[in-house]
Copies of this chain bind each other. A is one copy, B any other.
Amino acid sequence: MPDRRKRATIREVAQATGLSPAAVSYALRGIQTSEETQERVRAAAEELGYEAHPIARALASGRTGMVGLLCGSLEDYWQQSLAVGIGRALLARDRYALIVDAVGDPQRELVLARQLRDQRVDGLIVQPLDPSAPLWAELAETLPVVSIGDALAGGNSQGEVVFDNRWGVTLALEHLRMLGHRRIAVFTPTRASTPDRPADVHVNAEARRLDLEVEVVVAQQSLAEATDAARRVLEGPGRPSAVFCFSDVIAYGVYAATRALGLSVPGDVAVCGYDNHPMSALLTPPLTTVDWNIGGIVETAVRLVVDVIEERSPARRVVCEPALRVRESTAPATA
């Protein structure tokens, strides 16, 4: 094991300046001390190469400077983007993200949530698999909790960034309807509970409103399984003229299925995705998809949680509006 060289402590800086450790502590944070003293202390600290020990500081002050990020499943492209973005946004605010991944298991999610609390993170951002768990309310009592995507049970979390997926669905379905499509298959990924990816409720409501005939198919969000599911639907009787996929990855599966069946996109079947994965613009043909401004979500979530940690009071609930990116995978119905 390498021997960890000792670094200067606050008491050494105190000694060097002839002040008490307390005064040094204050001076370095620019409080309770005269300008002149602060300058002197800063100089001495610089000289000695002093840098406050984050662990000691965390123990004494009760704040670690870390924010937990609990992801439902980091397989998802968009959750990865979210995690990367949140990590950067926190770093820009001099905080660290402690990122953990429940790999799709709701039980594990709760275990990890407790572990993060036990690690004394200052706040928690969670993209919940199971928003209804009572644990969230319990955590929110002692810790700023911000949820992304779904509102948490208990209602006393410190913030929510919700996606207006209803609006996203409406955008996609209206787009397809305007192109003349009436029979539409909707592929939606499986999730433990999905109040805000309202495959059944909202899709059906919109279908009625727009006078569309929809068939909802639940598909694993993996390429292979999405391909199989799409194949079954497109081979079956009464093939839909358009497909709306609640995830770009599922749309890729649909592409693969059309290729296998010798169907063309958008000639035989129009395809609309959801996520605006960067790859989607590069497929043949480029995929029409719903984009949910990940940058905005990231910034909002981080702002909410940091505001609570630093005891400013934030807006508690922010809704992010998605937008439709029309590309070449959707075209007027031919039939």
Contact = CB atoms under 8 A, between A and B. Distances in A.
A132 B270 CA distance: 51
17 contacts: A1-B144, A1-B311, A2-B142, A4-B143, A53-B59, A55-B120, A74-B87, A84-B101, A87-B100, A91-B112, A97-B99, A98-B98, A223-B278, A255-B282, A255-B284, A279-B279, A284-B284
A154 interface: no
A2 B141 contact: yes
Contacts of A96: 98, 100, 119
A234 to B, nearest CB: 16
A127 to B, nearest CB: 14
Interface string A1-39: 111110000000000000000000000000000000000
A283 interface: yes
B279 A252 contact: yes
A162 B101 CA distance: 26
Interface in A195-213: none
Nearest to A56: B59
Contacts of A99: 87, 97, 99
Interface of A: 1-5, 51, 53-56, 58-59, 62, 64, 74-75, 80, 84, 87-88, 91, 96-101, 103, 112, 118-120, 140-144, 223, 252-253, 255-256, 259, 278-279, 281-284, 308, 311
A287 B31 CA distance: 61
A253 B281 CA distance: 11
A183 to B, nearest CB: 25
Contacts of A281: 223
A58 to B, nearest CB: 5
B59 A88 contact: no
B2 A140 contact: yes
A239 to B, nearest CB: 20
